[in-house]
Homo-oligomer: A and B are copies of this chain.
Amino acid sequence: MSVTATEDREFSERQREVLDAALALIVENGSALTMSALARRASCSKETLYKWFGDRDGLLTATVQWQAAKVRGVPLDRERLDREALGSALERFAADWLRVISSSTSVALNRLAVGHAGGDTPDLGSIVLHNGPFAMNRRVRPLLMAGEAAGLLRFEDADAAFHTFFGLVVRDVQIRLLLGEPMSLSADEIAIDARRASQQFLALFGAPEAEMAGQPTPRRI
């Protein structure tokens, strides 16, 4: 919710090592990260952990922020946009996102954040939210707007279009992973899925090729 949820923090080299150890432990052990286990793993004292991060929640928050900082995707340069470039840009977004959500780190952190979201502390979930779905929205939206401006896309609500794109990309993959279904997306499967999602999105929101190919205009939804 609050802007601070996405705020970047500076971590020292040693702190980053500790946070990486925390990530490794969370990935291995599920959400059962204990301060003692982290201190052992990272070869640091618990006193240091509490000095740096305040308490356990602070540590978890810092860990999620650290991982989020690592995952920031590179914005793709906006050259001239034709249907070809738009499709492959969407495809790249889709593939990036599928890679992220199917990584063991993302699964573990999302589990942590989801399990944490019911509780009293209002964040963790919100941090993942801002660096997950919301971040993807922010990154994709300029592309959608550019596509519309170029006459390649037709939609009334960019938000709704994004949500549909998200659904076409993610489908039930993320919830199945979070619920523990053992599935590994190979690079090939990701590429295929990304292409399919991109094509389906263009089929729904693309301006009719009709204008180039003389086919009838499908109605938009």
Asked if A175 CB lies within 8 Å of chain B CBs, one says yes
Give A180 to B121 CA distance when docked, in angstroms. Answer: 11
Give A113 to B31 CA distance when docked, in angstroms. Answer: 12
Other-chain residue from B160, B163, B216 in contact with A215 (beta carbon distance below 8 A):
B216
Other-chain residue from B108, B129, B167, B216 in contact with A176 (beta carbon distance below 8 A):
B129
Other-chain residue from B108, B114, B166, B167 in contact with A178 (beta carbon distance below 8 A):
B114
Give A174 to B178 CA distance when docked, in angstroms. Answer: 12
Q: Which of chain B's residues have a CB closer than 8 A to the CB of A181? A: 125-126, 129
Q: Which of chain B's residues have a CB closer than 8 A to the CB of A172? A: 133, 163, 166-167, 170
Q: Is the CB of A129 within 8 A of B180?
A: yes
Q: Which of chain B's residues have a CB closer than 8 A to the CB of A117? A: 30, 111, 178-180
Other-chain residue from B115, B126, B133, B215 in contact with A31 (beta carbon distance below 8 A):
B115
Q: Tell which of A119, A169, A180, A216 has the most Cβ of chain B within 10 Å.
A: A180
Please list the residues of chain A having a beta carbon within 8 angstroms of any beta carbon in chain B: 29-32, 108, 110-115, 117-119, 122, 125-126, 128-129, 132-133, 160, 163-164, 166-172, 174-176, 178-181, 196, 199-200, 203-204, 215-216, 218, 221
